[in-house]
Amino acid sequence: MSLDIVIMAAGKGTRMKSRHPKVLHKLAGRALLSHVVQTCAGLGAERILVITGHGADRVEAATQASFPQLPLAFVRQEPQLGTGHAVQQAEPQLADEGTTLILNGDVPLIRAETAQALIDACGGKQLALLTIELHDPTGYGRIVRSGDGHGGHVVGIVEHKDATPAQRQIREVYTGMMAAPTALLRKWLARLDNNNAQGEYYLTDVVAMAKRDQVPVVATHAASEIEVLGVNSPLQLADLERRYQRHQAETLMEQGVRLADPARFDLRGELLAGQDVEIDVNNVFEGRVELGDNVRVGPNCVIKNARIGSGTVIQAFTHIEGDAAGVDVGASAIIGPFARLRPGAVLGNEVHIGNFVEVKNSTLAHGAKANHLAYLGDATVGERVNYGAGSITANYDGANKHRTVIGNDVHVGSNCVLIAPITVGDGATIGGGSTVSKEVPAGHLCVARAKQISLAGWQRPQKKK
């Protein structure tokens, strides 16, 4: 059976008080609309139609760039005259038969299982509504049922602004998401009018039309409130962020991860953790992060697109920025505090990277150490190397990057500059304060610095009064 998905993402989001389109504001590091499209990716739709309006060019470009593989199409709603008017713009692109699923671009956490249940409830024959009971239903359309309203058949939806005081006491609300037989939906959309308090075309009016046409109207219930909460203001966005992060934290703790405080934890991507992983407070994980068994992460770290080996300790205030190239850290390493690993850093087992050391596009073999105030860029570092405080690889000549190769068991003294391209042979020693621009043979001592002189009677310049 053909499935079309319509995502409504045209609203301005006035209460966000922002220049950015509402659906591009981020939750857990991703645009609100991106969350919804990602959910749709697993539903097997022939078409995913995104209705845009405010900031349409930006919304369309960002969404297409994030999901180039999906059957995405975009429809403009200009001006915005209500939810029914929005779906009317997509109607010409809908299939003749099958099911149309309608979702909201500012309701980011709908689960694929819930969306699929809504599709199944429709079955191409019934109008299926996604509902939930809220403690505070203010602002939501109320589900009106036959009889006493408890378990009776759905007979309509009344928008909050049009509801009577009695109807506003109803706690079962329409979430803004439905699935409808496509052929019938086409007919209902053509019959919509704007005879209401807002002068808008309400999609919810199709419920009454379905009843008149003797089409069954059924309701499926969302499993959790977090799935159906929309974002209309910075306050709501922040509230949903914390709810979502708490949910992710609880999921990880159920898997055995020890979080010092689940209220001070942020996951903006995917985190895979082995056994006996300990994570202190105020850590942010982005992209895809893998933590091996017995990894310990100290407080206030940011880790993005990285694989951390078993038994490794990431100390406080460390930043690991894998980006597309990723970062790999071996087993039983010690990183930090205040260390920075950039894309392409590959560290072997038992490597030590200490405070204010930066590593970029470099490999450090088993047991190598750079413990203080150092930079390693575009370098290949052998086993058991000791890289001194204040030393750097000068890898950039103003136009191109060059590589430094440091063999096994090399000792680099403090405050050295290794000017790439250069090779330092196994077992060599670089004397402190040296600026080295030529190959250092294996086993040699290299000292490259000016002769020290002392000048008697020299006077330091005085500040003029």
Kindly report, residue by residue over 359-394, the tens digit of the pLDDT: 999 999 999 999 999 999 999 999 999 999 999 999
- Rounded Cα gap, residues 397 and 358, in angstroms: 19
Instruction: Sort 324 into a burial class: Cβ within 10 Å, 0-12 / 13-18 / 19+.
Output: exposed
Closest Cα partner for 42 from 125, 119, 123, 126? 119
Total-model pTM: 0.90
Residue 140 confidence (pLDDT): 85
151 pLDDT more than 70: no
Q: Is 191 exposed, middle or buried (0-12, 13-18, 19+ CB in 10 A)?
A: exposed
pLDDT confidence tier of residue 162, bands split at 50, 70 and 90:
confident
Give the active site residues. Answer: 372
Query: For residue 44, what is the DSSP state?
Result: T
Complete domains list, the chain, with CATH:
3-227 (3.90.550.10), 258-446 (2.160.10.10)
Rounded mean pLDDT, 253-260: 98
Residues in the chain: 465
* In the block, residue with structure tokens 């959309």: 189
Alpha carbon 1 to chain centroid, angstroms? 33
What is the rounded CA–CA span in Å between residue 130 and residue 90? 21
Burial class (CB in 10 A: 0-12, 13-18, 19+), 445: exposed
Cβ neighbors of 180 (< 8 A, separation 6 or more) are: 99, 100, 102, 122, 127, 128, 188, 206
Distance of alpha carbon 106 from alpha carbon 55, whole angstroms:
14
pLDDT tens-digit readout, 205-222: 999 999 999 999 999 999
What are all long-range contacts of 239-242, with beta carbons under 8 Å and residues at least 24 apart?
240/27, 240/108, 240/109, 241/27, 241/28
CB 102 within 8 A of CB 221: no
Distance of alpha carbon 59 from alpha carbon 78, whole angstroms: 14
Instruction: Using CB atoms within 10 Å of the CB of residue 317, give its burial: 0 to 12 exposed, 13 to 18 middle, 19+ buried.
Output: middle
289-299 pLDDT, tens digit per residue, is 999 999 999 99
CA distance 128 to 103: 12
